[in-house]
Amino acid sequence: MAPEISREIPIGELIINYPAAFEVLLRRGFHCMGCGMAAYETLGQGAAAHGLDDAALDSLIAELKEAVAKQAKVEKAIRECAPKKGKRLVIKPKPVEKEAQEPVKKPEK
């Protein structure tokens, strides 16, 4: 079971368990996902290092939880729409109507 998103979760563990968090952290200026400290530094410690106060950290945590919830809904919808074992999903593209195009005119010299 994945850990709860909180101030105490290590940044590396957050990214491993919740890939949707990666984009949120980048957007918020956390470029430390590749840093060696990400494996040990908690979200709260990282926020403090980036100058976030408690209110900003709470906002970040709420945004992370929202992004993770959205991702979970998308994954659930994909699983529900995916073909069952032994069946194939066939997608038939709609025919594209070709519009009359004017020939390209060469520039005059």
- Check whether 100 has a pLDDT greater than 60: no
> The pTM is what?
0.68
Task: For 4-17, write each residue's pLDDT tens digit.
Answer: 999 999 998 998 89
- Check whether 24 has a pLDDT greater than 60: yes
Measure the CA–CA gap between 23 and 27, rounded to whole angstroms.
6
Q: How confident is the model at residue 1 (pLDDT cuts 50, 70, 90)?
A: low
User: Mean pLDDT in the chain?
Assistant: 81
Class of domain 11-81: mainly alpha
Measure the CA–CA gap between 21 and 15, rounded to whole angstroms.
6
- Check whether 103 has a pLDDT greater than 70: no
Judge whether 32 and 46 are in contact, CB under 8 Å. yes
